[in-house]
Structure 1
Amino acid sequence: MIIKVIYYSMYGHVHTMAEAIAQGAAEVEGAKVDLRRVPETLSKDILEKMGAVQAQDKMNEVPVCTVDELDEASAIIFGTPTRFGNMCGQMRQFLDATGKLWAAGALIGKVGSVFASTATQHGGQESTILSFHTTLLHHGMVIVGLPYSFQGQTRIDEVTGGSPYGATTIAGGEGQRMPSRNELDAARFQGRHVAELAARLG
């Protein structure tokens, strides 16, 4: 059973969440977890101006995903930062290249799940995941979120991401906040939950 964790991360926040997602999925017996990033669409000059080169260099060891890899997965867990309440352009471009898979019905019945990052508490965490689900539904995937059995999403004693739609983190306006322990726990829970359901669906 292959679980793909496919993400885009500019400053490392989604990358950190993706690693936790992968850790959780790997806890399920029989799960082989592949961590992948989608291709970058910005030039190095632009990334330098955005202060993202150092973070990008740290992620270079993660292989870039190809569309053809998706067909072999039992479940795919996507991670994206938010851009105006929606997925980032890099992820959108990657998904827009999956038309051949759609035409073949290659992803029908596979488990799909999403996690995300925003700068602020109300910066589109839920809308990003929900709008992402539209693409997964067009592919016929079985959508899985973060159930309330992960009780950390109901905490009110600290600022935290996470909702029934998926694990999330709050990065701060300048990217100064990395995922908290609770947010990483949510990511691990989601990864494990997705892998368990994929195993049941067989």
Structure 2
Amino acid sequence: MANFLASIFGTEQDKVNCSFYFKIGACRHGDRCSRKHVKPTYSQTILMPNMYQNPAHDPKNRMNESQAQNHFDAFYEDLWCELCKYGELEELVVCDNNNDHLIGNVYARFKYEDSAQKACDELNNRWYAARPIYCELSPVTDFREACCRLNSGEGCARAGFCNFIHRKNPSEELDRELQLSTKKWLKMRGRDERSVSRSPSPEPARRRF
């Protein structure tokens, strides 16, 4: 029985624990969910709910597509470089959803759990763009399962109200630059995780922390 319960944990067969929370780190029912949201005590991934303020959701927004992408790239670059101070960052995911439990959510997956814990502890005492940051450990480790598979193909019929993550991507040029600068930074510090405090992280062009 114990082996069976372990095998179905966090799946749709699990009648006790919420499969959506386990896969995505957020559930549309929130605290009213009939199933348990088991918050991890350790994880490689952190979640910062509602952190990205997408100008597209502001009715007064007058940005064109290029300006909106530049706005997002500035945010993404700033955050990536700041998170590198806590350890080796493997993935940064920003939600482009409109629903309450996913809007503006930012996930960051580190190589090591202690890096994620350090980031979580310190970010909860910090602000970004004049707003306090809220941060928690997330059960999400595989974003292939968390992200909507239709969003990158023919399109998702539910659009921004899908309960799976619709990932907002930086420009290809910025993504390439960040990957290259991070590799260079890791090479400089010899990939020694404990030396992170002794080596500067990649620097963004614009800062809002």
Fold in common (TM above 0.5): no
State which structure, 1 or 2, has the greater radius of gyration over its C-alpha atoms. Answer: 2
Q: Into which bin does the TM-score normalised by the smaller protein fall?
A: under 0.3
TM-score, with structure 1 as normaliser: 0.27
